[in-house]
Structure 1
């Protein structure tokens, strides 16, 4: 039986996500060492974590627009090249200021990643496989964060923290070579894709179809979609997930070393567990979302159910972490929270594909990603200030839990079949 080439594309995107989050998590893993060497306090460290998202948020939108205009092949290759350069440049930082410059530039380069991935999936996968495709490809992201703990932590322990950033940069350039050789913007442009597979993708593609499965409808100008309640509802739910994500990504290593009193060697092992849960959440969320869609025939119900279930259970677990002090229950609750929280982003991306026509998905996805990643600016900084000047880690967990609940409620109110049908210009 011939292997469908679109799953090769999924593998390329999987490894891109893995490298992307390996890059991002590296600083948080070595943060206890960097704080001492560069004389940085917790509040400054929070600002450093947040500075990544200053450029990142803007280029989420620019990257999505560019993917619509120039195609994901060129945009992804260029972005990966720049983020590898600036990841490597982190190794040469000698102060808080130079490290911040490197982080801002690094964020600019990584900005197009999420929306370009979604554009590639929209081009290459039929609608009935969108949840699985997004879930499986994005599963590389928490897996990258998981392997960052032992790889970066142990390399830093043996050879110094700077060497780890150079190694990651080299891996990025290796991926670019494979991507450029193996990927094309559309399946019909690739010689390895059979006419049967092209027909299968096109027959169930993300075309301009009404939310109720009705006739083809005409796409409007992009601003109509950007400012609509369904799109903004998805953005708020995505923001809530990202707040929890960037809290974990930035501060879990410091939580384990400062609050649970682990050294960097043991933290590198324990720190893997939440991200393994997150990896499982990505895959299970995509499968559950597509399974509900096939069972009910209601794509909005399927995507929304997964998002609300994920955010709700994650919010409860994160709240409970604020009430425990020993290591085992804390790690268990964080791992469960990660599993359920990470069921939501692929459902958000898939839901967006079912709200917005395919020719607007890059720009609209970029706008949603921009709004959602404002959490990347707020979450690390707010957490740093709560730890430094407030009630410590407990209040930071409570804040993350509250935002998860808010995201769930807003999604339920804003994303409804009647609103989506009106947005798509279809009969209600």
Structure 2
């Protein structure tokens, strides 16, 4: 068999596609919610609870999935995770009332929980230090692209064939991906027959130790990983980031309809714009981080500069969105907010990879992601009750903006360089 010099980009392409499907089906409920509300006569509080139910399973299994990816490898975890969540996505079509939708959505979150932390583990295993931020940015950019596609795809299918059929289509796509991943991927590059010695050497350049199979990695007690200050602080900041993201993902479509008076068809198209800009933001964020690292030789500085500055801009814009009057201005300011929000995202996953050794990345990333996704439980429900009690969305936008500012300041003040390597020497060694 002929070996390829750049097989890691095949793995990255698969992760990118997985994130597209991930966000299409995650955002599908928000797009379909106006249709579901009409059928089941849901109150704002009930809608908020359904949005939040996803994150009860999701937040826990972010951590569980990350831990399992360290123990059994990204290939196994992503295969099972994608298969399970796809089946539950299809099962959404079987929901018949508020409670059945609530239960299916919670189980659906269990399946999706491992994805981001396991994808981060795969990037850590397959990419050298100098390419990690851009690889994270490219892989995770599939998320906002999926969110952009969700509006037109789910909206069109729901209008044409009904909202239930839309969930079945997405479920089939997920199952096809799981089969392809199982056939194409391995957990580490050393295991794959198409990885050349040249590529393997490049992947291992600058590491403290070469990438090893999960069963060969040393065991570390969980408490030593999850209670590291960098892991906890990054998780708290990502909580603030995710509060903005999930506020936007779950309530912005309803805001456009309820507060701005646009129709369902227009909403499906308009909500795609912030996601498309967010896709560009994800990719550019990773490229910017790697560029700053290359120019300065300062790994931590490159992560913090992009994260803090861009998250502050996003937070201010999200708060402003609730104050503008016209639909055009609302979508424009929200688009800027999402674009800058996505610019920050690769920095979080890069920071967590820097904070722990390679064989702990899944567990640390999973804990960070699980902690941060408690915001998915809180944001939709809190927003629903705010809307129901005040009759407006403006306080919900203001709260999201305030949390974003807090998240940026936490990283700026409390994330410090790990005591492992000199960043300048490491950058030169990895160049």
Q: 1:383 — aligned with what?
A: 383
Mapped pair 1:200 → 2:168: no
- Give, in whole Å, the separation in 2 of the partners of 1:228 and 1:126: 24
Kept after mapping to 1: 8 A contact 2:5/2:198 = no
> What per-residue deviation string (whole Å, max 9, x for no partner) do you get for residues 34-68 of structure 1?
01101211110000000000011111111011100
Q: 2:359 — aligned with what?
A: 359
Shift of 1:139: 0.4
Mapped pair 1:264 → 2:264: yes
Q: 1:295 — aligned with what?
A: 295
- Give, in whole Å, the separation in 1 of the partners of 2:304 and 2:237: 10
Q: 2:82 — aligned with what?
A: 80
Kept after mapping to 1: 8 A contact 2:307/2:347 = yes
Q: Which runs of 5+ in 2 are unaligned?
A: 211-217, 424-431
- Give, in whole Å, the separation in 2 of the partners of 1:262 and 1:98: 29
Kept after mapping to 2: 8 A contact 1:122/1:206 = no
Q: 2:41 — aligned with what?
A: 39
Mapped pair 1:231 → 2:221: no
Count of matched residue positions in the alignment of Structure 1 and Structure 2:
414
Q: 1:137 — aligned with what?
A: 139
Kept after mapping to 2: 8 A contact 1:118/1:349 = yes
Q: How does 1:7-406 map to 2 (within 5 A)?
A: 7-205=9-207, 207=209, 221-390=221-390, 392-406=392-406
- Give, in whole Å, the separation in 1 of the partners of 2:208 and 2:321: 40
Shift of 1:220: 6.1
List structure 1 segments (4+ residues) > 6 angstroms apart after TM superposition. Answer: none
- Give, in whole Å, the separation in 2 of the partners of 1:128 and 1:107: 33
Q: Which runs of 5+ in 1 are unaligned?
A: 209-217
> What per-residue deviation string (whole Å, max 9, x for no partner) do you get for residues 227-260 of structure 1?
1222211112211111111011111111111111
Kept after mapping to 2: 8 A contact 1:281/1:339 = yes
- Give, in whole Å, the separation in 2 of the partners of 1:4 and 1:347: 24
TM-score (norm 2): 0.93
Q: 1:215 — aligned with what?
A: none
Q: Which stretch shifts more, 377-386 or 2-11? A: 2-11
Kept after mapping to 1: 8 A contact 2:57/2:113 = yes
- Give, in whole Å, the separation in 2 of the partners of 1:339 and 1:103: 28
- Give, in whole Å, the separation in 2 of the partners of 1:32 and 1:391: 18
Kept after mapping to 2: 8 A contact 1:20/1:110 = yes
TM-score (norm 1): 0.94
Shift of 1:391: 5.2
Kept after mapping to 2: 8 A contact 1:206/1:353 = no
